[in-house]
Structure 1
Amino acid sequence: MTPPGLDPQRGLVAAQATRRRFLTATGAAAALALTGELAGVRPAEALAPGSLGSAELFTLGVASGDPLPDAVVIWTRLAPEPTSPTGGMPARPVPVQWEVAEDERFRRVVRRGSARAVPESAHTVHVDVQGLRPRRHYWYRFRVGSQLSPVGRTRTAPAPGEAVAELSLAVASCQAIWEGWFTAYADMARRDHDAVLFLGDYIYEFGIDRGVRPDSAAVENTRQTVTLDEYRHRYAQYKLDPDLQAAHAAAPWIVTLDDHEVVDNWADEAHPSAPAAQFLVRRANGFRAYWEHMPLRLAQAPQGPDMQLYRRLRFGSLAEVNVLDTRQYRSDQAMGDGSKPPNPESQDPRRTLTGDRQEQWLLDGMAGSGTTWNVIGQQNALARLDTVAGPDVAVPMDTWDGYEGSRRRVLGGIAERGVDNVVSLGGDLHRSVASDLRLDFSDPSSPVMASEFVGTSIASGLDGQDLDPGGAVLLAENPHIRYCNFQRGYTSCTITPRTWKADYRVVDRVTVPDGEVSTRTTLVVEAGRPGIQES
């Protein structure tokens, strides 16, 4: 029996009741996470920029994201003391000037304006710059008084229907900062990508007392993030990394979250650490800090414990990227989570990973996209992952394996609608896994409906190795898996009307700051021919 409050078929009434319990239980303690307003603090006049002194304000760099043909979001945060609870800023708004230019030296400024960095949002700035031209590079910067931010470069998407000869997309996830240096981001920043797709685990919420970096054992890093201040501190800690800043400044990012932006393996309103109403307070804190530190539009700003993250971005007639959210709407993990044999609960067709509305949105959107490539950007592996050797089978309950009904509906829906050239991009596994996605993974002759490239982690998992014992089991037990690697890195994808080419970029060592990056393998999918081939 499913515990009360975790029924996968609960409707709108149950969801609204839980939100009411959340509001009643939290009161003023969650006012900031819910509304962005500080209790007892009246709106104040903006602080004169000159009164901030000479302290460096733009310590966390700049970023851009969610490119459209005529718009892009640009982001920064004012934080002279980035790891302090207030970022070292006074509890007053600060006017921030911004500029967007067609050249790196800002001789041809095409858009400029002013934004307010307010304490309620940790003095972050999100500007949705509109009126830009399609498929162009732009440079942007911010100014407070006489102090200038670093310069970032971004790029708008192609015009709707525009024939695009080539698109370059970097795919990354999972960056446990204490387990490695972000060398992969330094490599990513040097290569010319049109956009970066980040698929979750931007931070890790749990406290650690070890690590390869000099400050890993600092007391503030040993605490688990629960409060809004703690989540903000953790984002600042990550964003201080110069390689991560460089990757953000080199190209626009398209982001979605997974579990560690809140807490490990949470599912909708459920986590064993707390009752639902209490957990939703933590979720609201995590969501708010996430939005504050990501280059996202106002449409993605959280409303308490709710956040609209699934969305689409189109790149001319070449590709449409469907960005999923597989945390907010999922049923609780089957059989208490972990790796288990397929079971009645994991195979229950009523259970869902995406929620009914998002699932229908995904399938209808791909059926009507009109683009050559239909891309699913999501957090886990769609492919079946038998993790034990021999005749027994055990699959992870936190991935699509634990939600067999969802997987069958998605892959079956692709087949029923005749959607061509579907590529799933995933993360979370801390290993690279490239797979053919079949309608029936137990039947090697079942038709291939899509191709999947799961990318490894940026740093999570330490150095790793080319093929670890777990990877050897995956290759032996899952004939649909075409490639596996257990080193750190990211995936660099080159997309044309004829082919999808995935370069798996790996770092030989992340436990030192000077690791070497190379292309471990290149895999190809041909348009009109489902399935992965070696280059």
Structure 2
Amino acid sequence: MRNLNRRHFLVTGLAAGAAAGLPAGAEAATRGREPAASPFTLGVASGDPDHQGFVIWTRLAVNPMAEDGMGGMPARPVTVQWQIYADERARFPVRVGVTRAVPEWGHSVHVEIAGLAPGREYWYRFKTGRHVSPLGRARTAPHPFQYGGALSMAFVSCAQYEHGYFTSYRRLAEENPDLVLHLGDYQYEYTKNTYVIPGGNVRHHDGPETETLANYRQRHAQYKADADLQAAHAAAPWLVVWDDHELDNNWADEIPEKPEIPQPNFRQRREAAFRAYYENMPLRRSSVPRGIDMQLYRRVRWGRLATFHMLDTRQYRDDQGCGDGYRDCPAAIDPARSITGGEQEAWLLDGFRHSRAQWDILGQQVFFAQRDNNAGPQKITSQDAWDGYVASRKRITQGWLDAKVRNPVVLTGDVHAHWASDLKLDYDDPTGPSVGSELVATSISTGGDGKDSDPQTQPFLKINPHLKFYNNQRGYVLTKIERDLMTADFRVVPQVQVPGSGVHTKSTFVIEDRVPGVKQTYLRPVDPALKALGETTIEETVRMETERP
């Protein structure tokens, strides 16, 4: 298997460097051997851009929900052509080549494109025989020594297929962002009628709870076949990291959610989940899994403007100290415990020391700021989040302070609600300085519709003065990153339990260059007296950089 893996990726690598123009005979090589029906049922995707290129992905499946996880494909390699275009009408190819989709990797295709111009859009598609995939949009990062223009970046998490439609993905695609970060819980492992919302689920998972490679492949295919998710993937390159449900709820390293129940096959389950995750994501060959291990933490640079430190807070963490819920837990402050593991922590701190970016952005999974739910002196916090690893959090925070990181921003998913908060070195001193900012995206669909909420009545905000915003609707966060300002629009859809809802901005926060912490903005009508003077050039709204009274 090891030699086959290397050969497969050697073929992919050579394809990525092919000169323009298909190799002679490439078209003929697939005639008579291509699938009878289109195998591009799972869409296309791109990811991990740099200033010279990106990864393009597809996975062939004529029958996505086949129980054996093979998508109805033959047990042999299939030749796939790929094409990169300079225009969205696919008239001007700039790179073309051929690769193979092999059954050992679920007929997935990962091509690492290089040699493109920095800081511009490209389009791509695949072809096998007479079948042509949808067209996807990607873009390269700016040159490492340049800032480029403003970056439109969105981040999302937590898409439970059964709880609602993926309307937020569709609305996100319509925003036409430059980059999308998915921070985990891309898919859920449960079988039908296991994770049920009040009133009942609106659609159902096929197959058993995911434990085998065939199970995980089938589940990924069910999600990938969703048209709204396909639209979001085709709209922009993604940076992906997992959380827990890609494998098992609240797993920690080699420990399952319920370690008290014997699970002798958990290592095999982890290996299967990691392999299927790679097969279904636009990841570079550096993330090819090796047994139960997979290199997912990595750095992606967007010119001088931003560096994205993508973290893995599941694979290397110590087990939750006192269970997964809210506890007063002595183990939470044990300095020996880590949520990142020592090697990843050292890698992150080294990245801080060498960073010259305007914005250093941590793309990660679980709540970073302290979130105490007890108004009294006893601290009750979630042991599954960074609150369960207090010393680990403090080392990371002190690390960016020691490195004099210009603008540290933590992006988070997991908790199925929108949040914004200031970050502290010492959360027990509410008067102490803010040293960073955290933005948290609600779920795409997990939890069903949710409900609108008044942040002023949220108990967490009263107990934790560094927490500045909360909303319990579904959606995503859309940011605009400029040299002097990062603007975050908390986008919400009123309903996901019926399809087709619109989207609007519930609140907007800004982070100013070299001013740690978040500031809420809102729009105020212009004074009617000014409008009466005929000042038609005056904007109808004024941004107020202060909290709403």
Give the structure-1-normalised TM-score. Answer: 0.88
- Report the Cα offset of residue 295 of structure 1: 0.3
- Report the Cα offset of residue 50 of structure 1: 2.6
Within the alignment, does 1:359 sit opposite 2:345 as a pair? yes
- Report the Cα offset of residue 469 of structure 1: 9.8
- AA in 1 matched with 2:180: V
Q: Is the 8 A contact 1:380 1:454 kept in 2?
A: no
Aligned match of 2:317? 330
- Report the Cα offset of residue 215 of structure 1: 4.5
- Report the Cα offset of residue 151 of structure 1: 0.4
- Report the Cα offset of residue 369 of structure 1: 1.1
Within the alignment, does 1:463 sit opposite 2:445 as a pair? no
- AA in 1 matched with 2:293: D
- Report the Cα offset of residue 389 of structure 1: 4.7
Q: Is the 8 A contact 2:443 2:474 kept in 1?
A: yes
User: Which deviations, in whole Å up to 9, do the C-alpha atoms of 1:148-198 show, x marking residues without a partner?
Assistant: 000001001111011223111100000001001111111111112111000
Q: Is the 8 A contact 1:61 1:245 kept in 2?
A: yes
Aligned match of 1:229? 214
Segment drifting more, 199-208 vs 413-422: 413-422
Aligned match of 2:518? 532
Give the distance between the partners of 1:101 and 1:515, measured in 2 at CA: 33
Aligned match of 1:26? none
- Report the Cα offset of residue 104 of structure 1: 1.8
SS in 1 for 2:501: coil
- Report the Cα offset of residue 49 of structure 1: 4.6
Give the distance between the partners of 1:145 and 1:48, measured in 2 at CA: 5
Give the distance between the partners of 1:369 and 1:192, measured in 2 at CA: 28
Within the alignment, does 1:309 sit opposite 2:291 as a pair? no
Aligned match of 1:290? 277
- What does 1:431-442 align with in structure 2 at a 5 Å threshold? 431-442=417-428
Q: Give the unaligned 5+ runs of structure 1.
A: 1-30, 38-45
SS in 2 for 1:336: coil
Q: Percent of aligned pairs with the same residue?
A: 49
User: Which deviations, in whole Å up to 9, do the C-alpha atoms of 1:81-137 show, x marking residues without a partner?
Assistant: 001022011101000001001012222111010010111111110000111110111
- 2:371 equivalent among 373, 385, 402: 385
Aligned match of 2:537? none
- Report the Cα offset of residue 473 of structure 1: 1.6
Give the distance between the partners of 2:381 and 2:201, measured in 1 at CA: 33
Give the distance between the partners of 2:244 and 2:31, measured in 1 at CA: 38
Within the alignment, does 1:113 sit opposite 2:97 as a pair? yes
Give the distance between the partners of 2:457 and 2:344, measured in 1 at CA: 32
Give the distance between the partners of 2:457 and 2:81, measured in 1 at CA: 50
Give the distance between the partners of 2:344 and 2:263, measured in 1 at CA: 22
- Report the Cα offset of residue 279 of structure 1: 1.5
- Report the Cα offset of residue 364 of structure 1: 1.7
- What does 1:159-178 align with in structure 2 at a 5 Å threshold? 159-178=143-162
SS in 2 for 1:288: helix
Quick one: structure 1 residues 465 and 529, their matched pair in 2 at CA, closer, same or farther if it must change by over 3 Å?
A: same
Give the distance between the partners of 2:473 and 2:375, measured in 1 at CA: 22
Within the alignment, does 1:89 sit opposite 2:73 as a pair? yes
Quick one: structure 1 residues 47 and 336, their matched pair in 2 at CA, closer, same or farther if it must change by over 3 Å?
A: farther
Aligned match of 2:60? 78
- Report the Cα offset of residue 371 of structure 1: 0.9
Q: Is the 8 A contact 1:199 1:257 kept in 2?
A: yes
- AA in 2 matched with 1:75: W
Quick one: structure 1 residues 192 and 155, their matched pair in 2 at CA, closer, same or farther if it must change by over 3 Å?
A: same
Counting matched residue pairs gives 492
Give the distance between the partners of 1:489 and 1:53, measured in 2 at CA: 37
Quick one: structure 1 residues 469 and 461, their matched pair in 2 at CA, closer, same or farther if it must change by over 3 Å?
A: farther
- Report the Cα offset of residue 242 of structure 1: 0.5
Q: Is the 8 A contact 1:494 1:500 kept in 2?
A: yes
Aligned match of 2:83? 99
Give the distance between the partners of 1:135 and 1:35, measured in 2 at CA: 32
Quick one: structure 1 residues 469 and 195, their matched pair in 2 at CA, closer, same or farther if it must change by over 3 Å?
A: closer
- What does 1:260-275 align with in structure 2 at a 5 Å threshold? 260-271=245-256, 272-273=258-259
Q: Is the 8 A contact 1:471 1:486 kept in 2?
A: no
Give the distance between the partners of 1:406 and 1:480, measured in 2 at CA: 19
Give the distance between the partners of 2:299 and 2:243, measured in 1 at CA: 17
SS in 2 for 1:231: helix
- Report the Cα offset of residue 208 of structure 1: 2.5
Quick one: structure 1 residues 90 and 125, their matched pair in 2 at CA, closer, same or farther if it must change by over 3 Å?
A: same
Give the distance between the partners of 2:341 and 2:165, measured in 1 at CA: 36
Aligned match of 1:20? none
Q: Give the unaligned 5+ runs of structure 2.
A: 8-27, 522-549
Give the distance between the partners of 2:520 and 2:363, measured in 1 at CA: 22
- Report the Cα offset of residue 214 of structure 1: 5.9
- Report the Cα offset of residue 392 of structure 1: 4.2
Aligned match of 1:133? 117
- AA in 2 matched with 1:56: S
Within the alignment, does 1:145 sit opposite 2:129 as a pair? yes
Q: Is the 8 A contact 2:60 2:107 kept in 1?
A: yes
- Report the Cα offset of residue 275 of structure 1: 5.8
Q: Is the 8 A contact 2:304 2:358 kept in 1?
A: yes
Aligned match of 1:503? 489
Quick one: structure 1 residues 226 and 364, their matched pair in 2 at CA, closer, same or farther if it must change by over 3 Å?
A: same
Quick one: structure 1 residues 81 and 448, their matched pair in 2 at CA, closer, same or farther if it must change by over 3 Å?
A: same
- Report the Cα offset of residue 471 of structure 1: 7.5
- What does 1:391-410 align with in structure 2 at a 5 Å threshold? 391-410=377-396
Give the structure-2-normalised TM-score. Answer: 0.86
Give the distance between the partners of 2:228 and 2:189, measured in 1 at CA: 21
Segment drifting more, 515-524 vs 467-476: 467-476
- Report the Cα offset of residue 277 of structure 1: 6.1
Within the alignment, does 1:451 sit opposite 2:428 as a pair? no
Q: Is the 8 A contact 1:431 1:487 kept in 2?
A: yes
SS in 2 for 1:354: coil
Give the distance between the partners of 1:254 and 1:115, measured in 2 at CA: 23
Give the distance between the partners of 1:107 and 1:347, measured in 2 at CA: 59
User: Which deviations, in whole Å up to 9, do the C-alpha atoms of 1:182-239 show, x marking residues without a partner?
Assistant: 11111111112111000000010111225767641x6x34x21000000000000101
Quick one: structure 1 residues 437 and 53, their matched pair in 2 at CA, closer, same or farther if it must change by over 3 Å?
A: closer
Give the distance between the partners of 1:512 and 1:141, measured in 2 at CA: 31
- Report the Cα offset of residue 337 of structure 1: 2.4
Aligned match of 1:493? 479
- Report the Cα offset of residue 476 of structure 1: 1.4
- AA in 2 matched with 1:285: A
- 1:51 equivalent among 33, 51, 54: 33
Quick one: structure 1 residues 506 and 206, their matched pair in 2 at CA, closer, same or farther if it must change by over 3 Å?
A: same
- AA in 2 matched with 1:312: R
Give the distance between the partners of 1:75 and 1:184, measured in 2 at CA: 22
Q: Is the 8 A contact 2:358 2:407 kept in 1?
A: yes
- Report the Cα offset of residue 514 of structure 1: 1.9
Give the distance between the partners of 1:470 and 1:310, measured in 2 at CA: 36
- AA in 1 matched with 2:438: E
Q: Is the 8 A contact 1:102 1:108 kept in 2?
A: yes
Give the distance between the partners of 2:148 and 2:59, measured in 1 at CA: 34
Give the distance between the partners of 1:308 and 1:409, measured in 2 at CA: 22
User: Which deviations, in whole Å up to 9, do the C-alpha atoms of 1:368-422 show, x marking residues without a partner?
Assistant: 1111111111101110111245554311000000001101101112222222210
Aligned match of 1:15? none
- 1:156 equivalent among 127, 130, 140: 140
User: Which deviations, in whole Å up to 9, do the C-alpha atoms of 1:48-74 show, x marking residues without a partner?
Assistant: 453345312100000000001001100
User: Which deviations, in whole Å up to 9, do the C-alpha atoms of 1:482-508 show, x marking residues without a partner?
Assistant: 101111100001000110100000010
Quick one: structure 1 residues 389 and 516, their matched pair in 2 at CA, closer, same or farther if it must change by over 3 Å?
A: farther
Aligned match of 2:266? 279
- AA in 1 matched with 2:111: V
- AA in 1 matched with 2:515: R
Q: Is the 8 A contact 1:47 1:94 kept in 2?
A: no
- Report the Cα offset of residue 363 of structure 1: 1.6
Give the distance between the partners of 1:487 and 1:215, measured in 2 at CA: 19
